[in-house]
Chains A and B, each alone.
Chain A
Amino acid sequence: MVSAYLDPASGSAIISAVAAGAAGAGVAAKTMLAKMRLKKRGADADIDPTDEAGAGAT
């Protein structure tokens, strides 16, 4: 459950882990990689496979 009223700013949350030291930096790196993978997957999903020009160009 997320009940805090502040916007969960992703960058700040991740950096708070970095601030914890080496172990936290590892967690932050894994989180960033996961986010980038998700973002890439999202971008790939946006590409219309029927679009011969590729890359979702219109």
Chain B
Amino acid sequence: MENITYIAYLISAVCFILGLKKLSSAKTARQGNILSGIGMLIAIAVTLLDKQIIDFTFIIAGIVVGSAIGAIAAKKVKMTDMPQMVAVFNGFGGGASTLVALAEFYRFTTTPEVNVSITLVLSLLIGTVTFTGSFIAFAKLQGLMKSAPVVFKMQQFVNILLFLAIVVLGVLFVIQPSSGLELILVIAISAVLGLLLVIPIGGADMPVVIALLNSYSGLAAAMTGFVLNNYILIISGALVGASGIILSNLMCIAMNRSLINVLFGKVGFDASAGGGEKGERKQVTRYTPDDAVMMLENAGSVIIVPGYGLAVAQAQHVLQEMASLLEKNGTEVHYAIHPVAGRMPGHMNVLLAEANVPYDKLMEMDAINEDFQNTDVALVIGANDVINPAARTKKDSVLYGMPILNVDQARTVIIVKRSLNPGFAGEDNELFYGDKTMMVFGDAKKIVTDIANLLKG
């Protein structure tokens, strides 16, 4: 029987790997997710046959409650709220790892070996940090607490102290693993640590944090796998851990920041950054939706650059309507998606897919950046830092070196924006004042609706 279990786990692991592999193309992605789901079902089914399980009361109750909550949340969540949702799920994953590892400790009948004790402590540490950290990320993204960084004096010092305390408790437990007191303290301190690690991170950096917590939830599962000596947990945990690391790294590159800087740099709360030029108020010409329509009607090619302002205004659907009208008019329309557009990796693609934009119109930055120079109109909606030429030219700017969309190379640039306020980086955008730029001020949804109506008429 044991061998059958282990073979079934191996099949599950293969399903997960193939499932993730199928995510490399939009055509096969859905199939891939279903394959991963089948892998999970196999693992669960074969575990239920395990001879250690003699009572199904708690199992059935737990599965019923968990499935109901998970299914309702998955059905109800708005696509704009996806980052919070993933944060919460990460949190539950990390929490589950902690609980399983702790439960295993209470089931020990003999003194655990050193390697088991070490991974047990690691599992509690990572799992609990993921749990509380994810809920803080959720609260920030959901607006339950301010998204601005919360900082206090000696914060880093306190974090280091807490971490050292966990190390000391961990060592004590490994030497003398009889009482659970050390473990409870490790969990309590890790909970505080998770909270303190996420509160100083600003709203704009949340994509990185969520990706990182995703990675942690995988590592926590892997550590629990070490404790249980169960390879399926180790393999799955490692896969998720790798995924989270890749995504956090990509986000950091796209924001021109190092991971250390994101986690401890406290960027985003100092509104005075780059404020040296505030003295000179440059002139900007205001254009109306009518002016924009004139340009768009005569354009052979348009690239739309959506930013998070678009999603905030819930303008995705009307934007798609407007784009269809332009296409009917014979204009070629594409969307240029910057890696950090939205509130989590790939978020903007999901928001536009929901609005029925075909995915072959959604171009990633490297694939479309060369095309701007041959494009009649670049239509920017609610984006700022990701099109700021200061990233190329202004050496003293925080943006300098960040990869941007070459919007300024298009023949005409139309920017729909609520105001001239700088973006998260606090850097003024010279593109707003350019000769070929048309600034149209107002709410994204209202402006795009006006443009769509004018195109119809």
Q: Do A and B come from one complex?
A: no
- Residues of chain A having any CB pair with chain B under 8 Å: none
